[in-house]
């Protein structure tokens, strides 16, 4: 055999081995041994019992009761999946799925009806204690989000997140959670998707509390949220970690932004989009305690041009920067899809859209789901995981949400195909590209209340019958598909071809 032929043969053998075993010696389709696979939900989307047993009103209750037209056909979360009464069925569903972790959120106003410490609602504490205990009895780790968009309405009467004092209220609420649940909860997330919920201060009709102060309210809210996150992290770190020994972080959301073309200005737009959506939160927490330079500069310049005496984006004090910098034990990431991006002057003045200057385009040639924004683009998932892993190194990534929308059919082939392909791309990021990812909770365990889309978009691995007072849960085809993956800790090889 000629030397060159031998060389080529050896090389292809090496490539084959790499394909089977990845960079870390593990088969490419295999999850790391201690990887946490599970499912996620959120309080307002599943619990119902909106005014039972002492729960206070929250901003979603309030907005959709006052403005049913903001929802889908007047739908709301008053009953939802009735998980307040049916949590034991949810735990059974998780067990049947083989979930090792359940990410759920606590409703602030179920624990503190006024948002403050004047009333502590024991029934609310009992509810979450029962859920946590049942999870643990079934070998499922609870992962708790403290805030998944349902602010006590009493705190909205004070202005909500744009009011800096909300950080103090959040700190006190967090203390109640650590005191009551921290002996058993070892995974904490302060906020879910601040980029999304702070839009509730930028426009009316979509996110609660529907306050129309674009380019101002959203930045003020973000500023309070980042401070509140840092404060709660430090509280845990100093007062609870020594005895409770858990991990705490925040969940940020970002899809992959694919440049529309390879012009320099398009690549700059791509970077801006990442920085305005993800960097706004991730840079202070994971990089240097402060906003990304491009965000700071553009908002400051626009504010000046508008004749304002101050920037619409507030500044952190040096002490706050120190407190916020490094305030996470891992990186919680929600990601679903990919969009095309191109530089553009759009949006009214003032607004974050105008400050950012990027047009996001939905590519209708990509495979769709039933949600207009959610295109099935598995390679984009690998890209965003790798982007986060390279920009914010030293922090393990936990995929806190990823999932597919349809109209609720039991034979949910679209969901099976989505999870097969997305999990394969995730495994390539881990095993071929070396990303340090430690867990994945699919969105969602149950069909549930999908915010403005009401019950028209279904993300569940289990179907819920919203026409029945029983809210019957039924496994879909994707339930056993995911259960197999969860049991074997591997994705079928056909998804790697």
**Whole-number Å distance between alpha carbons of 66 and 85:** 26
Extended beta strands in 193-347, E state: 247-253, 256-259, 331-334, 338-343
Residue 311 DSSP SS3: coil
Residues with Cβ within 8 Å of 440's Cβ and at least 6 positions away in sequence, in order, are 35, 36, 37, 38, 398, 399, 402, 423, 426
Count of residues binding ligand NOJ (CB under 6 A)?
A: 9
CA 275 to centroid of chain Cα atoms? 17
Count the neighbouring beta carbons within 10 Å of the beta carbon of residue 192. Answer: 24
- If the CB atoms of residues 251 and 266 are measured against ligand NOJ, the closer one turns out to be 251
Which of residues 193 and 329 has its CB atom nearest to ligand NOJ in the complex? 193
Omega before 236 cis (within 30°)? no
Is residue 224 part of the contact set for ligand NOJ (CB under 6 A)? no
Whole-number minimum distance, CB 344 to ligand NOJ, in Å?
A: 25
Interatomic CA distance for residues 299 and 305, integer angstroms: 10
Rounded CA-CA distance 156/256 in Å is 33
User: 493 catalytic, yes or no?
Assistant: no
The least distance separating ligand NOJ from the CB of residue 113, rounded to whole angstroms, comes to 23
Cβ partners under 8 Å of residue 469, min gap 6: none
Does residue 193 interact with ligand NOJ by CB under 6 A? Answer: yes
Q: How far apart are CA 280 and CA 220, in angstroms?
A: 12
Q: Which residue has the tokens 């007047």?
A: 74
Helix (H, G, I), strand (E, B) or coil at 304: helix
Residue from the set 58, 192, 249, 303 that interacts with ligand NOJ by CB under 6 A: 192
Does 75 participate in binding ligand NOJ (rule CB under 6 A)?
A: no
- By the rule CB under 6 A, 252 interacts with ligand NOJ: no
User: Is residue 43 at the binding interface for ligand NOJ, with CB under 6 A as the rule?
Assistant: no
Q: Applying CB under 6 A, which of residues 37, 42, 250, 333 lies at the interface with ligand NOJ?
A: 42
State the catalytic residue, choosing from 57, 75, 141, 401.
401
Active-site position among 75, 141, 193, 425: 193
Nearest distance, CB of residue 13 and ligand NOJ, angstroms: 44
User: Nearer to ligand NOJ by C-beta: 354 or 362?
Assistant: 362
Q: Are 441 and 403 in contact (CB under 8 A)?
A: no
Q: In which element (H, E) is residue 200 found? A: none
Cβ at position 262, least distance to ligand NOJ in Å: 30
Closer to ligand NOJ at the Cβ: 47 or 193?
Answer: 193
Residue 83 engages ligand NOJ in binding (rule: CB under 6 A) = no
- Is there binding between residue 143 and ligand NOJ (CB under 6 A)? no
By the rule CB under 6 A, 450 interacts with ligand NOJ = yes
Instruction: Pick between residue 28 and residue 226 the one whose CB is nearest to ligand NOJ.
Output: 226
State in angstroms the smallest separation of the CB of 443 from ligand NOJ.
5
Strand 397-401, strand 331-334: pairing: parallel
Compute the least distance from the CB of residue 448 to ligand NOJ, in Å: 7
Tell me: does residue 334 bind ligand NOJ (CB under 6 A).
yes
Q: Does 401 bind ligand NOJ (CB under 6 A)?
A: yes
Q: Please say which residue, 57 or 450, places its beta carbon nearer to ligand NOJ.
A: 450
What is the secondary structure of 305-359 as a DSSP string? HTT-SS-SS----HHHHHHHTT--SSEEEE---EEEEEE---SPSS-HHHHHTEE
Residues interacting with ligand NOJ, by CB under 6 A? 42, 45, 192-193, 334, 401, 443, 450, 459
Residues annotated as catalytic (active site), given as ranges: 193, 401
């Amino acid at each position: 055999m000629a030397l060159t032929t031998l060389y080529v043969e050896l090389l292809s053998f090496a490539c084959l081995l790499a394909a089977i075993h990845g960079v870390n010696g593990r088969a490419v389709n295999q999850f790391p041994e201690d990887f946490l696979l599970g499912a996620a939900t959120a309080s307002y989307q599943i619990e119902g019992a909106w005014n039972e047993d002492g729960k206070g009103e929250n901003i979603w209750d309030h907005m959709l009761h006052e403005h049913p037209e903001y929802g889908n056909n007047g739908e709301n979360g008053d009953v939802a999946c009735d998980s307040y009464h049916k949590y034991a069925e949810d735990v059974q569903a998780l067990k049947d799925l083989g979930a090792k972790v359940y990410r759920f959120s606590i409703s602030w106003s179920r624990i503190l009806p006024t948002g403050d410490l004047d009333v502590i609602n024991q029934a609310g504490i009992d509810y979450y204690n029962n859920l946590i205990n049942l999870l643990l009895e079934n070998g499922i780790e609870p992962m708790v989000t403290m805030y998944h968009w349902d602010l006590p309405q009493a705190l909205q009467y004070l202005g909500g997140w744009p009011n800096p004092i909300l950080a103090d209220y959040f700190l006190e609420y967090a203390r109640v959670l650590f005191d009551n649940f921290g002996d058993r909860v070892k995974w904490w997330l302060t906020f879910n998707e601040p980029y999304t919920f702070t839009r509730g201060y930028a426009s009316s009709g979509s996110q609660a509390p529907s306050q129309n102060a674009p380019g101002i309210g959203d930045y003020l809210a973000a500023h309070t949220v980042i401070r509140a996150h840092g404060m709660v992290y430090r509280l845990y770190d100093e007062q609870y970690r020594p005895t409770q020994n858990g991990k705490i972080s925040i969940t940020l959301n970002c899809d992959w932004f694919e440049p529309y073309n390879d012009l320099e200005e398009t690549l700059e737009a791509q970077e801006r989009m990442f920085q305005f959506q993800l960097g706004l939160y991730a840079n202070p927490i994971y990089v240097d305690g402060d906003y990304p330079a491009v965000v700071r500069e553009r908002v400051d310049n626009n504010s000046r041009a508008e004749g304002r005496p101050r920037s619409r984006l507030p500044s952190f004090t040096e002490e706050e920067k120190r407190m916020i910098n490094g305030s996470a034990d891992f990186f919680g990431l929600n990601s679903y899809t990919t969009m095309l991006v191109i530089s553009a002057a759009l949006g009214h003045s003032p607004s974050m859209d105008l400050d950012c200057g990027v047009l996001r385009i939905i590519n209708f040639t990509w495979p769709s789901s039933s949600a207009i924004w959610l295109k099935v683009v598995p390679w984009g998932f690998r890209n965003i995981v790798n982007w986060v892993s390279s920009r914010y190194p030293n922090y393990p990534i936990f995929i806190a949400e990823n999932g597919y929308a349809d109209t609720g059919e039991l034979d949910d082939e679209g969901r099976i195909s989505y999870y097969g392909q997305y999990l394969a791309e995730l495994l390539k990021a881990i095993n071929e590209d070396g990303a340090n990812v430690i867990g994945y909770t699919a969105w969602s365990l149950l069909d549930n209340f999908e915010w403005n889309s009401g019950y028209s978009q279904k993300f569940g691995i289990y179907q819920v019958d919203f026409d029945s007072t029983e809210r019957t849960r039924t496994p879909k085809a994707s339930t056993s598909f995911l259960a197999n993956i969860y049991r074997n800790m591997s994705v079928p090889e056909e998804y790697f071809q």
